[in-house]
Amino acid sequence: MLYGTIVLALSILIKGLFAGQAQWFDGLAKSLGYESVYHHAVIIDAGSSGTRVLAYRFRVPFTVFGQPNLDLVDEFWEETKPGLSSYVDDPEKGADTIVQLVRHAAHLVPPERRRDTPLIVRATAGLRLLAPQKAQMLIDEVSKAISKLGYHVDQNSVEIMDGSDEGIFIWYTVNLLHNLIGSGTMAALDLGGGSTQITFEPREEDRKLSPPADLYVVPAGAANVTLYTHSYLKLGLLAARYGIFRLEANDNDTNEFVSVCVDPIVQREKWTYANKQYVISGAARADGAKREAVYARCHGAARRYVARTAGAAGAAGAAPAQPPRGAVAAMSYFYDVAADAGLIDVMRGGAVSAAQYRAAALRACSASNVEQPWACVDLVYVHTLLQDVFKIRDAEPVSLFKKVNGHEVSWALGLAYTSIMNKMASAPEA
């Protein structure tokens, strides 16, 4: 598991990303001609719904004493769809999508620095859902392709990321960007296409109620903290949408679904999931059916799917013993679903409660909106996930982030920073 490596690297990470260490000395050094040292990293987030490149440029500020830190000064983000797992039957084409993304980010890394710049590919739930042999074929093809691009690549550069690592990295990222490490940290909820993660600092009394496999001791400033983190495979938004449709079809192996969560005006709408095309139609509704009744039927299907999927792994799949302590931050599809429903500003984000997701679901489930045919099922599912799995109280605000101070909120940032700090720490002294 990657976690051991993560803990070692993070022991230096949390000493000061964006901490503004010794700004006065750094400014004085620059005025006296100090030449800044820069480091770069290129991270590929091979998710289930799309593949993203996140390239970073960090600066080493002048340090009087102690371990040098890094300031993030520039980044580049680009996405391509579909995700890498969609190329399961054409691994070479899938690898080429990653090569093209790396080339698009090349302007951020000077050619003379690329041999020292880590290029890291981490696949998430999309590949975790594939048969191991199929996933390995994709990994092997990607490894071969990126080894020719001139960056620093080794035998660990392309891997399937464990769900707990994904959760821990996004927790670090959101709390580092808010400068909260070592104080009152925020819980982090991440909703991808194939899986969802929850990570937070549990109360001491709640640790005894949590499965040991979900508890991790990680460094946080001068001390260590215990995190609860769990990743739920098949509870990502797209996996859940498919799962709900299939549950309504009594789990029959069919590519045509009829759903109570889709308005009847939608007939034979094409939808592609996991590289397979499906046809979705809305179920007929009784004349005069109230929106509460439509919502209730969809909510019932969503709850049945969540209950059987979240508990499929036995005790290890159980929900947290208690709700997250303190403020809650949510990312990815939590943000997108709220933005599409008009609950937040699409550029600035905002805070949304589970009750607001439910109210938006009530509206969506009674609206004939052919431009957003999945709005009802997605909003109902998000509300169900927040309440039934994550135990978020109805009125509790959840802060939704896509960017913080202009930086993408992605686990890739934590991975990039850690990789460079680890490299700096292991470099021989001049």
Residue 271: count of CB within 10 angstroms of its CB:
17
Contact assessment for residue 333 and residue 237, using Cβ atoms and an 8 Å cutoff: yes
How would DSSP label each residue in 33-101? TPPPEEEEEEEEEE-SS-EEEEEEEEEE---SSSS---EEEEEEEEEESS-GGGGTT-HHHHHHHHHHH
Helix 375-384 and helix 354-364: axis angle, to 10°?
150
Element (H, E) at 163: helix 163-177
Residue 67: count of CB within 10 angstroms of its CB:
12
Note the residue count of the chain.
430
Residue 398's DSSP bridge partners are 328, 352
Q: Report how far residue 362's alpha carbon sits from residue 296's, in angstroms, rounded to the nearest whole number.
A: 9
Contact assessment for residue 424 and residue 39, using Cβ atoms and an 8 Å cutoff: yes
Residue 278's DSSP bridge partners are 271
Percent helix, percent strand, percent coil in the chain, to nearest 5: 40, 25, 35
243, exposed or middle or buried, with CB in 10 Å at 0-12, 13-18, 19+? buried
- How many helices (H) and strands (E) the chain has is answered by 13, 17
Catalytic residue among 166, 201, 248, 408: 166
Decide if 78 is catalytic.
no
How many angstroms separate the Cα of 159 from the Cα of each of 137, 150, 315, 413? 12, 19, 27, 17
Among all residues, which ones are annotated catalytic? 166
